[in-house]
Amino acid sequence: VADGATTVEVEAGVLRIGEVARSTGLTPRTLRYWEEIGLLRPTGYRKSGERLYAPSDLARVGRIRDLQELLGFSLTEVRAVLDTEDVDVLDRVRSELRDGDPSPRRRRELLEAGVTANDALLGRLDETLARIRAFRDERAASAARMRAALEEFRE
Amino acid sequence: VADGATTVEVEAGVLRIGEVARSTGLTPRTLRYWEEIGLLRPTGYRKSGERLYAPSDLARVGRIRDLQELLGFSLTEVRAVLDTEDVDVLDRVRSELRDGDPSPRRRRELLEAGVTANDALLGRLDETLARIRAFRDERAASAARMRAALEEFRE
DNA sequence: TTGCTCCTCACGTCACGTGAGGTGGC
DNA sequence: TTGCTCCTCACGTCACGTGAGGTGGC
């Protein structure tokens, strides 16, 4: 052990709430609130009550923020959209297989619903992209007008 | 008068709060709240207290929504950004001229601050555009994975 | 008079922020 | 023991939503 690392993590890659907060730019309060409403549950707890998060939770945090900030979804809407993610959908397909529902009909339904939801989301993202581009053009024109006014005063 | 227009507007192009709400997708409550915090004041009032909005107010509503929804600004931040708009900045330059401050130094300061603020805004817009594109790509990949799973089950 | 829209309180809600007071491991 | 981070209440805040009760013009 050449470097100064002496603290040992109980489980590898497991993060405490403060570490998740720092690496995502959120506050611990936000993460606790998301848990309160069932949006993001930590993978485990210590006996003391301390929350423990896995790396996959970090990825989920990123997708929640995207839906919230980039598309303006409420947390209820965010949860609905996350239910259509491929990770979740494919997990559900596999767990239904384990639970003894081998009907290909049900599996196809889940996957097709996921694909449909994704297409709707892609549509909204493209709308938002178009709105931002239009707004950026307006602002570029505004800056140009002010620069022109500056030139005018200069003479 | 060939068409069915019989109602006459007191002042041409002037809108009541309900009409503004409908054409912008907001609620009257939202418009009153924005007035409460000094973000959007109607151009006038009737003796009865009824609010009257001009077409220019409609344009301002659009820009407020863009800053709020597309960039996630708080209403305090929105107001600060709107103060750097060319319409407002150029108006201020002119009114300072009327009020007897003919110093070209002051005019240049106002315009240069406006241009700088606009450039910062354009930067944020480009960042947001990049984030949305990345998110869209992730989701497109997710849809592709689910489509692949569908194909798998089909055989 | 009946509708429709407007008005002003004023309390409710969503997504957290912000202390208050206390516990657990180096 | 001192710091640091964690915990659970619990009240505050921002940006409205949602009635409650009343007015003004066709």
User: Which tens digits make up the pLDDT trace of A85-135?
Assistant: 888 888 888 887 787 766 778 888 888 999 999 999 999 999 999 999 999
Residue B87's pLDDT is what?
83
Residue A39's pLDDT is what?
97
Decide: pTM greater than 0.85. Answer: yes
Residue A62's pLDDT is what?
96
Residues of chain B where predicted confidence (pLDDT) is lower than 70: 1-11, 101-102, 153-155
Q: H-helix or E-strand containing B120?
A: helix B104-154
Is there a contact between B70 and A132 (Cβ–Cβ < 8 Å)?
yes
Overall size of chain B counted in residues: 155
CA distance to partner chain B, nearest, from residue A68 (Å): 9
CA distance to partner chain B, nearest, from residue A17 (Å): 25
Residue A107's pLDDT is what?
84
Residue B75's pLDDT is what?
98
CA distance to partner chain B, nearest, from residue A86 (Å): 6
Footprint of strand C on the protein (CB under 7 A): A 7, 27, 29-30, 33-34, 37, 47-48, 68, 74-76; B 16-19, 21, 28-29, 32, 48-51
* Packing angle, helices B28-36 and B17-24, rounded to 10: 110
B64 to chain A, any CB pair closer than 8 A? The answer is no
Residue B57's pLDDT is what?
96
- Residue A115 tokens read as 């694909």
Q: What DSSP string runs through B32-55?
A: HHHHHTTS---SEE-TT--EEE-H
Are residues B135 and A107, on separate chains, in Cβ contact within 8 Å? Answer: no
Distance in Å from the first CA to the final CA of chain B? 70
Q: What angle do CA B148, A39, A35 make, to 5 degrees?
A: 145
Residue B96's pLDDT is what?
80
Q: Give the pairing of strands A51-53 and A15-16.
A: antiparallel
Q: What is the mean pLDDT of chain A?
A: 88
Footprint of strand D on the protein (CB under 7 A): A 16-19, 21, 28-29, 32, 48-51; B 7, 27, 29-30, 33-34, 37, 47-48, 68, 74-76
**Count of beta carbons in the 10 Å neighbourhood of residue A103:** 10
Are residues B128 and A132, on separate chains, in Cβ contact within 8 Å? Answer: yes
Greater confidence (A2 vs A11) lies with: A11
**Chain A residue closest to B139 (CA)?**
A118
B residues 129-148 lying closer than 8 A (beta carbon) to A: 129, 131-133, 135-136, 138-140, 142-143, 145-147
Residue A81 three-state SS: helix
How many angstroms is C1' of C20 away from CA of A37? Answer: 24
Residue B2's pLDDT is what?
33
